[in-house]
Amino acid sequence: MEEFVQDLVSQLNVETVFTIFHFKIFESVVVTWIIMLIMVLIAAWLGHGLSVQHPSRRQAAAEVIVTKLDALTEGMLGAKGKQYSGYIATVLLFLGFANLIGIIGLKPPTKDINVTAGLAIMSIVLIEAAGVHARGVKGWLKSFAQPIAIVTPINILEVFIRPLSLCMRLFGNVLGAFVIMEMIKLVCPAIIPAIFSLYFDIFDGLIQAYVFVFLTSLYIADATE
Amino acid sequence: MDTVNVDLLHFDVFNLICTIINLLVLYWLMMKFLFKPIRKVIAQRNAEIDATYQDIKTKTEEAQSKNKEADARLAEIEQNRKEAVRKAKREANEVYDSIIADAKKQSDEILEEARHDTKLVIMEEKQKAKEEISTMIEDASLKISNEKSDQELYDKFLKEMDE
């Protein structure tokens, strides 16, 4: 039992991979780099040698992926938030990869609260920037007193609550799934983890990726309306 | 059991900033390598398709207008042809009439001439006959002077000739 707990704790801790000028680089950041490398390599492979009139199969697949992603993100963002679809699609793909990377034995970076916090901060910055861009500074400030002035404090609180909920939801779900999967693996290392992995790693991972970008898009659509 | 210290909510500003930078770099790279080129190609293709459709529309309209023009020209040519045929017929009729009239006139003249000539010939022949007859009469009278018994017979004969 003692051994089990120690093992679990070591799995849960975010380890420092290396240190640069007294700055500790966490393994979540290193795994993020690995995911970025994979994504960029795939993107570069899909996006090179394009032809307008004679698309290859690879290009056709790439066009389908981009078109579907754009349709999905633009549908969530609304007409005025269209321009942010590239970022939303990138985050969706990144979270998809990040949450699924547990399958190949790496620790999902979204298990580290610093990563989900970073994502949430980016989201709230984008949401408020989109609001300022769409309404102007005055309109953006006025939007805090809508629909009635009395909700202004709540609206201001929302600026902090929204990213916090985004951050904690993602972190909690991935961490929870990770803990359960580690426990199952420690109890029964064969076959059973594979079955549960289908739900906790693949299904829940993708759902959380979708929920994160869906909520971010919803907030952007709300801010730009 | 010992308490286990797991620092799950350990915020580290440096790693948080690293994550944000990672995201921005990833966004930039994904836009550069995937989204922008693919969107550009799709937009170009759509533009080409639109241009092709526009081109087809313009060409169809052009062809239709040319067709109309050709139809109008055909009708005009047909009109001209009919006019020309009508004119030619009219001219031909005129020429025909004048030729017929000339021919008639000429034939009348020829007939007249022929009649005149015939008359002359007849008169000549009459004259000749007269002369021959008178010669014959002279010859006969010479004979009669020889045979007086037939005097009355000759007189009667001459009377009949004059008539």
Q: Which residues pair with B102 in a beta bridge?
A: none
Q: Which of residues 139-158 of A touch B (CB under 8 A)?
A: none
Select the residue of B9, B30, B44 nearest A90 (Cβ to Cβ).
B30
Residue B5 reports pLDDT greater than 70 = no
Residues of B in contact with A6 (CB under 8 A): 4
Query: Rounded to an integer, what distance in angstroms lies between the CA atom of residue B140 and that of residue A103?
Result: 170
Q: Are the beta carbons of A208 and A174 closer than 8 angstroms?
A: yes
Mean pLDDT within A62-69:
92
pLDDT single digits (tens) A71-107: 999 998 888 888 899 999 999 999 999 988 888 878 8
Residues of B in contact with A15 (CB under 8 A): none
Q: With CA atoms as reference, report the closest residue to A26 among A96, A107, A92.
A: A107
pLDDT single digits (tens) A166-211: 999 998 888 888 888 888 888 887 888 888 888 888 898 899 999 9
Query: Rounded to an integer, what distance in angstroms lies between the CA atom of residue A64 and that of residue A58?
Result: 10
Distance from CA of A148 to the nearest CA of B (A): 35
Q: What is the pLDDT of residue A61?
A: 92
pLDDT single digits (tens) B103-143: 999 999 999 999 999 999 999 989 998 888 888 888 877 87
The interface pTM score, or ipTM, of the predicted complex is 0.90
Buried b (16+ CB within 10 A) or exposed e, A144-170: beeeeeeeeeeeeebeeebbeebbbbb
Host H or E run for residue A82: none
Check CB contact under 8 Å for A40 and B33: yes
Q: What is the pLDDT of residue B146?
A: 66
Q: Give the global pTM.
A: 0.74
Q: What is the pLDDT of residue B1?
A: 43
pLDDT single digits (tens) B62-102: 999 999 999 999 999 999 999 999 999 999 999 999 999 99
Mean pLDDT within A116-138:
92
Residues of A in contact with B46 (CB under 8 A): none
Query: Rounded to an integer, what distance in angstroms lies between the CA atom of residue A217 and that of residue A85?
Result: 9
Check CB contact under 8 Å for A43 and B29: yes
Q: Are the beta carbons of B20 and A118 closer than 8 angstroms?
A: yes
